[in-house]
Amino acid sequence: MKAFFQTDDSWTGLILRLTLGIVIFPHGAQKVLGWYGGFGFDGTMGFFTQTLGLPWIIAFLVVIGEFFGSLGLLVGFLTRFSAASIGVIMLGAITMVHLRNGFFMNWFGKQAGEGYEYHLLVLGISIALTIIGAGRWSVDQQIAQRIAK
């Protein structure tokens, strides 16, 4: 357990996890709460299971992974797990949806859909956080210190 929560007091972990948490939270809130023009939980589950053909358990894990994972990252709780989960979600999004649209985002509306450059950035940050942990000012750091006593 100690290794799972262990982190240093670095600014790097803090900056990476806050950045990833802030970027992913609106996507999770779209899926769970219907905020920011999203479809909410029922609409998202319907889209994932009926349109994309995902099994309901995978769709459910994606939805809660983005929402609760982003909240966990913002406070630095279960950082490695949350970051790894978001990384897996991004791998799935790349392979199932965005790879066929090429690398670049659809900046000028000339592609069939969005490319995977955003997802690749999120994946890179997720991998880094999985390796280094939450950094300073995190719940994980506090838990690790208590476990060490």
Asked if the model's pLDDT at residue 149 lies above 80, the reply is: no
Tell me the torsion sign for CA atoms 95, 104, 45, 19: positive
What per-residue confidence (pLDDT) applies to 148? 84
The CA-atom distances, in angstroms, between 44 and each of 27, 57, 62, 107 are: 11, 13, 10, 24
Going by C-alpha positions, the residue among 97, 90, 61, 76 that lies closest to residue 139 is 76
Q: How far apart are CA 113 and CA 103, in angstroms?
A: 11
pLDDT tens across 30-77, in order? 999 999 999 999 999 999 999 999 999 999 999 999 999 999 999 999
Task: Give the pLDDT confidence score for residue 127 in this predicted structure.
Answer: 98
Write the CB contacts of 93 (distance below 8 Å, at least 6 apart in sequence): 116, 119
Q: Rounded to two decimals, what is the model's pTM?
A: 0.93
